[in-house]
Amino acid sequence: MKVLKGILSESKEYYLNIKAEIEKKLRSLPSGSVKERIIAGRKYYYMQRRKNEKVVHEYLGKERPDDLLKKIRERKVLKVELKKVNEALKVLQRAEGRKRG
């Protein structure tokens, strides 16, 4: 039983470290999405994000912001990973809480 508790403890520590790394990366990446609008036959790009209760559009320019789109895709992937890590931590928490008598 002592070995199992050690494994659970190591797993929990591992997932907590991964969670901290993912959250740190998420803070450095932009939130929101890029919207393309066609006005008078020309394409314009806007950053759309939520500030408090309002949706705010920020003009980006006429050129497609590929670097920004890449960062937003990376953010989405990290969000999925964070969700999986949180699920694993919940499972570990439940396993630690169980006592067998």
Task: Give the pLDDT confidence of 28-47 residue by residue, as tens digits.
Answer: 999 999 999 999 999 999 99
- Asked whether 72 and 34 are in contact (CB, 8 A), the reply is yes
pLDDT given for residue 7 in this prediction: 81
Task: For residue 1, name the pLDDT band (cuts at 50, 70, 90).
Answer: low
Q: Which residue has the higher pLDDT, 16 or 95?
A: 16
Strands 54-61 and 42-51: antiparallel
End-to-end CA distance of the chain: 12
Instruction: Spell out where the chain has E strands.
Output: 33-39, 42-51, 54-61
Structure tokens at 41: 């036959």
Residue closest to 18 by CA, chosen among 26, 29, 28: 26
- Amino acid 99: pLDDT: 53
pLDDT, tens digit, for every residue of 45-89? 999 999 999 999 999 999 999 999 999 999 999 999 999 999 999
Beta carbons of 22 and 78 less than 8 angstroms apart: yes
Residue 96 binned pLDDT confidence (cut-offs 50, 70, 90): confident
Separation CA 81–CA 87 (nearest Å): 10
